[in-house]
Amino acid sequence: MQHQSFVSDAEARRRYWARSVLGWRHFSRARPNPAHQALAELERTGALTGLITQNVDRLHQRAGQRRVIELHGALADVRCLHCGELEERDLLQQRLLALNPGWTERHVEIAPDGDAELPPEVVRDFRVASCASCDGTLKPDVVFFGGSVPRERVAAAWECLEGASALLVVGSSLAVFSGFRFVRGAVARGIPVALVNLGTSRGDELAALRVELRAGEVLPALAALLGAVSS
C-alpha cells in the first residue's frame, strides 16, 4: 500500500480494510518462532542490548523482548489521521465486523502477511469504520511505502546503536534504506557488523561476518553458546 494512495483515496482505504478484516484473524494468531525466542534470551543474558526491527507483527514482544524499536510501527495499533487517537486493531476488528456482518464467511486465499485478494465488485459493498472519538480517517499505525519513519523512532534507533559493540543483522536483505542506514552508520563508527541471512544482502560488502543459514538455526545456537559462556 502506498502512503499517498491510502490518505487521499477513499476507495484505496476501502479496499485495504476489506482485505485486512479477512486477513487479521490469521495474522493476529501468529506466534514467535525459535529465532524470536533466541533473541529474547540473548537480551535476558545481557548479550543483546536493544533490537531495531522493520517487522510490524509484534512477535518480538510476544517472545519476551523488552527493548524493541519498531521502525515501521505495528499493525496491532490503528491511528486516527485527524485527532491522533490510537485504537487497538482487535477492537477495530470488532467494529468492522459489526458494520459488515458475514464478511469473514468469505472463502479467500490468505497470504502469510494477512493480505487477501478480493474482486472489486465485492469490495464496493464494504463499510469502513471511522475514528470512535472524532469520526476521522483511520490508518494502521505502520509506515506504508512512500511514508516516513517518525523522527523519534530514528533517534531512538541511533541511540541504541551508539552504545553497541557490534551490530547483528538478522533475516534482512537490507533493501529498504530505513534499515540499511544503520549498517552504514555502524561501519562509519567502527562498529563491526554481522549478517545472518539466506541469500545476498545489500550489506554484504560492509559486514565483518556473514552467515548464510536460517535464523531459526543460528540464533538458538548462539544463545546457547553465549549462555554457557556467561554461566
Report the catalytic residues. 72
Q: How far apart are CA 205 and CA 186, in angstroms?
A: 13
Q: How far apart are CA 196 and CA 219, in angstroms?
A: 9
Q: Are 51 and 69 in contact (CB under 8 A)?
A: yes
Q: Which of 144, 140, 195 is nearest to 167 (CA)?
A: 195
Query: Scanning the structure block, which residue is given the C-alpha cell 534507533?
Result: 157
Q: Are 22 and 106 in contact (CB under 8 A)?
A: yes
Q: How far apart are CA 172 and CA 54, in angstroms?
A: 9
Q: How far apart are CA 54 and CA 210, in angstroms?
A: 20
Q: How far apart are CA 89 and CA 78, in angstroms?
A: 6
Task: Specify the amino acid at residue 64.
Answer: G
Q: How far apart are CA 38 and CA 21, in angstroms?
A: 31
**Residues 6 or more apart whose Cβ sits within 8 Å of residue 119:** none
Query: Scanning the structure block, which residue is given the C-alpha cell 485504537?
Result: 87
